[in-house]
Copies of this chain bind each other. A is one copy, B any other.
Amino acid sequence: MPATLTIHDGRLIKGNETRAAILQVAIQIASEEGLEGLSLGRLADDVGMSKSGLFAHFRSKEELQLAVVDAARDLFIEQVVTPARKLPAGIKRLRKLADTWLAYAQGHVFRGGCFFVAASMEFDSRPGRVRDRVCELMAGWLAALAAEVRQAKANKELAPNADEQQIAFEFNAQMMGANWAFQLLKDKKAFARARTAMMERLESFAPHRRH
């Protein structure tokens, strides 16, 4: 930290660091027990703070839940999206997104598997700001997959009849299926199966095949 920072700035940084540390604990609780299981009382115990200390960072349970969703999004981008962005847009990046996603879901970034699969399921019947935020992020993820399919068609890496919405839907489904089979059934082959499904599906749209 530069020595020229004022006390005010110093306090702000400390506050932000504390907030980030709290969120890391909260993400892990939420990934296993759900965002609704994330009470301020429980979290205060786990991070060793008073409930009123926590209230200084998050004014309500909903604010905490929204902050956790955004922190999980940052982790997702860092683990899944950023490594894939190093590859050219199109089929290479699409394949890489499949691989980084599968690595993320089995790599114990979140104790209870993919945070967003769990949060989606938990909030699909609970209207409100948390549901809206999860929805927006998930729609963005499907759109990101679809954009790579579109680019792959433009690059002539996939045949013109490859439907980007369809393929984005299928990729997301295979990822969810893998996360489910690994978390519930402890099926270690689940990630390889999802990968096979996605890669063979892309192969079926290879431009040199007859359609």
Contact = CB atoms under 8 A, between A and B. Distances in A.
B185 A173 contact: no
A130 to B, nearest CB: 12
Nearest to A170: B197
B173 A125 contact: no
A120 interface: yes
A135 B186 CA distance: 10
Contacts of A166: 193, 196-197
Interface residues of A, number: 46
A160 interface: no
Interface in A99-117: 111-113, 117
B181 A33 contact: no
A155 interface: no
Nearest to A173: B177
A138 interface: yes
A32 interface: yes
A172 interface: yes
Interface of A: 31-34, 111-113, 117-118, 120-126, 131, 134-135, 138-139, 142, 165-166, 169-170, 172-174, 176-178, 180-181, 183-185, 189-190, 193-194, 196-197, 200-201, 204
23 contacts: A31-B125, A33-B126, A111-B125, A112-B124, A112-B125, A113-B125, A120-B180, A121-B180, A121-B183, A124-B180, A124-B183, A131-B184, A139-B185, A165-B193, A169-B177, A170-B174, A172-B177, A173-B178, A173-B180, A176-B177, A177-B177, A201-B201, A204-B204
